[in-house]
Amino acid sequence: MARRGQAAPHDVMRAAFYSLWGVLTIVLIFAVIFMFVRLGQQADELDTAAAAVRATGTVRDDTPVSDRPVVRLYFAHPSELRLVPEDRPLALTGSTLENCRLAIEALIAGPAAGAGPALPPAARVRALYLLDSGELVLDFTRDVDAPAIHSAGAEWLLIQALAHTLTQAGLQGANDRPVATVRLLYEGSPTEDSFPAHIQLAGPVRPDPRLVGG
């Protein structure tokens, strides 16, 4: 029997049990809240990644620019007689096709300085295919047919800028085939029917080394 003024042992145990139960309940509540908050953050991250895929066709890359692989882009010399190389870091992937798409977007964005654009800023790619032979098929929209490209020199530099840029080994994805030649389509049709207007392209194009430097 407990003395007067002293709690019975079972009352002490009961109080301790309820105290422990209360602490565990609070911990459980905080754990559940943390779990829901984290799930919400993960859902936001997935939505952001999905939006990046819909917008650009690839997941956003947060790699610092200084750590990205350097790709050599080729732009038009103002004389329209040769190409000017420019090294630029790109967020490359494991896919040759996707890397080529990134390089084309960089060409459309234009050179940093000291050269003219190889492609008009409004140029857009309708489709991009890489055949087993290594032939890259580029299907452009009619926006590539800009007034500034309406000369034999500008047309040839556009074609060769694509050929030189897209056939470089650095764009080859891991365990993927490289690009050997480039074939142009215009709104899904062979280019000789509409664009370019001054050059006949009977087949795929290889880079002409005589156009670089000098």
pLDDT tens digits along 29-62? 877 676 666 655 544 544 444 343 333 344 444 5
Same domain, 21 and 93: no
Same domain, 122 and 177: yes
Same domain, 164 and 100: yes
* Residue labelled with tokens 């029997």: 1
pLDDT, greater one: 119 or 101: 101
Same domain, 89 and 151: yes
Same domain, 35 and 113: no
Residue 2 lies in a domain: no
Residue 4 lies in a domain: no
| pLDDT (average), residues 104-117 | 90
Same domain, 70 and 142: yes
Other beta carbons within 10 angstroms of residue 5's beta carbon come to: 5
Q: How far apart are CA 167 and CA 177, in angstroms?
A: 11
The band of 160, judged by pLDDT with boundaries at 50, 70 and 90, is: very high
| pLDDT (average), residues 61-73 | 70
Same domain, 83 and 174: yes
At 201 the pLDDT is 72
For residue 138, give the amino acid letter: L
At 57 the pLDDT is 40
The band of 113, judged by pLDDT with boundaries at 50, 70 and 90, is: confident
| pLDDT (average), residues 62-79 | 77
At 59 the pLDDT is 40
Same domain, 162 and 198: yes
Q: In Å, how far are 19, 21, 120 from 14, measured between CA atoms?
A: 9, 10, 81
Same domain, 75 and 105: yes
| pLDDT (average), residues 140-155 | 75
Quote the domain boundaries for residue 193.
66-211
* Number of domains into which the chain is organized: 2
| pLDDT (average), residues 202-208 | 88
The band of 71, judged by pLDDT with boundaries at 50, 70 and 90, is: very high
